[in-house]
Amino acid sequence: MRRNVLKGLGIGFFLILLSLVAMYLGLAHYYMNMGGFSYGTWINGIYCTGKNVNEVNEELLGQCAYSGLTITDGDGKSYAILPGDVALSYDFDQELWDYLERQNPYLWIENLTGGAKEKTLMPTVRYDQEEFERLVDSFSLFPEQKPKEQRRVEIRKGDEGYFLVNERTHVLNEEKARALIQEAFESLTPELDLEEAGCYEDFPLTEKMEGDIALWEKLADYQDCGIIYRFGEELYPVDASVVCDFLLLDEEGNFVFDENGNLCTDEEKVYAFVDRLAGEYDTVGTARQFHATRGEIITVEGGIYGNQIDREAEKEYLLEAFLDKRREEHEPAYTQMAAKQGKDDIGDTYIEVDMTNQMMYFYQKGELKIETPVVTGNTGLRRGTPQGTNYVYSKERNRVLRGPDYASPVKYWLPVKGGVGIHDASWRSKYGGEIYKTNGSHGCINTPLEEVSKLFDLVEVGTPCVMFY
């Protein structure tokens, strides 16, 4: 009895084992006949069990979009190689077939027990090699390379001051850079930084080259000036392009050093710069382009209005501030100040006297507040009101205006240049037109009482007065 039980158990065990073997072989046969990858196969993060090469290739391409290679050089400039530029194409067919052929379908049990690891495959890349090389050759990244022995170190002077030409440091290793660019493109790498990739190198320096570099460091420190002039809204930096001309040179044009080895400053050159600066920003009596209310851009010359820099005070300031290495924004001292500083010193609040049209306008912050006909100087008697950009330098009430042959009481008096001013004229009943040609004033701007009273209340001393024909 016992023997029969044992025999039955043995037969049962054998049948179970036979079934497992048959199932194992059946699955192996299935994977082999289906042409698919065996159980537990992962490639580039994709589960590939039972899938054929075409199916897996499509999935891998779906997650492998490539928009091209961006190359960055040591100066931060970027260059791009786009897939369309070189007819780029790629797929995983060959790599997948090779991997599938290496798989043994009868060993799929290893994947079940953890014996297999995820496989990483790179695609086969195809592109137009000649077009690729032509494109890379076109990059300014690869200028004509000089031999090492011809590479110089020298100091030059340009529009922005002195600068150093150093052809022996940070030199691109072209052969290495080209190889890395091709390798990155073929591996579908999106970015390549040539600096980080170690494509730059330095060449040895001679003793003279080291001396030139030491001199350049002194020049760079000398030219590092932090003074900025402010003219209203305008800023004028006293930068390297300016201070490079402050250096003291000997008769042969060489730099002069003091006993401590520091570069010397030519004071006269500093003063000459202040004179040039004042010549650029002084506006008293200069010609101005003015947009008249009548619609024209006219040139107005002369007058007493404007800014006048105190040249002597500024020469003293700039020399001291420069030698002290100050870093500051500075408003210059003036012997005369306009309502606004800078080249456009009229601003948006001003009086406009159009003597051809015999009209006067007052703009306050860009808004027209007064528009009135006037009578200006008698041109028939050569007493025409002078042209120029002037300003209201006083405001008086109930004044008697006197001349060789007249004494005229006025309620409002706004002088703008010497004895010429804006005032009411009770003796007139008409204004504008061509009255000024035969019955004009002695030079003043005669204005209706109601309008001049408004002007008197609105205008401030210092307001520009632009007068023109």
* DSSP β-ladder status, 200-201 and 171-172: antiparallel
Q: Indicate if the pLDDT at residue 109 is higher than 50.
A: no
Query: CA-CA distance, 152 to 165, in Å (whole number)?
Result: 7
Confidence of residue 405 (pLDDT cuts 50, 70, 90): confident
For residue 398, what pLDDT is reported? 96
The predicted structure's pLDDT at residue 115: 45
Is residue 13 pLDDT above 60, yes or no? no
Per-residue model confidence as pLDDT tens digits over 422-455? 999 999 999 999 999 999 999 999 999 999 999 9
How is residue 296 written in tokens?
Answer: 């024209």
Confidence tier at 54 by pLDDT (50, 70, 90): very high
- Confidence tier at 22 by pLDDT (50, 70, 90): very low
Give 330-368 pLDDT, tens digit per residue: 999 999 999 999 999 999 999 999 999 999 999 999 999
Query: DSSP characters for 65-113?
Result: ----EEEE-TTS-EEEE-GGGTT-EEESHHHHHHHHHH--GGGTHHHHT
DSSP result, 388-426: EEEE----EEEEEEEETTEEEEEEEEEEEETTEEEEE-T
Q: 288: which residues sit within 8 A by CB, 6+ positions away?
A: 299, 300, 301, 346, 389, 466
* Top-confidence range, 19-23, 100-104, 188-192: 188-192
pLDDT band at 34 (very low <50, low <70, confident <90, very high): very low
pLDDT (0 to 100) of residue 6: 52
Residue among 57, 137, 42 nearest 89 (CA) = 57
pLDDT for the residue numbered 393: 96
CA angle at residue 394 from 392 to 399, to 5 degrees? Answer: 120
396-403: strand order across its sheet: 396-403, 406-417, 420-424, 445-447
Mean pLDDT of the chain: 90
Q: Of 30-44, 239-253, 281-295, 380-394, where does mean pLDDT reach its minimum?
A: 30-44
Sheet holding 327-330, edge to edge: 234-237, 226-231, 327-330
In this prediction, residues 101-114 reach a mean pLDDT of 53
Is residue 256 predicted with pLDDT exceeding 60?
A: yes
SS3 of residue 200 by DSSP: strand
- CA 46/CA 62 separation, integer angstroms: 11
**Cα–Cα distance between 290 and 140 in angstroms, integer?**
47
Confidence of residue 4 (pLDDT cuts 50, 70, 90): low
Q: Which of 264, 244, 290 is nearest to 389 (CA)?
A: 290
Helices (H), ranges, 259-407? 267-281, 311-323
Q: What is the pTM of this model?
A: 0.69
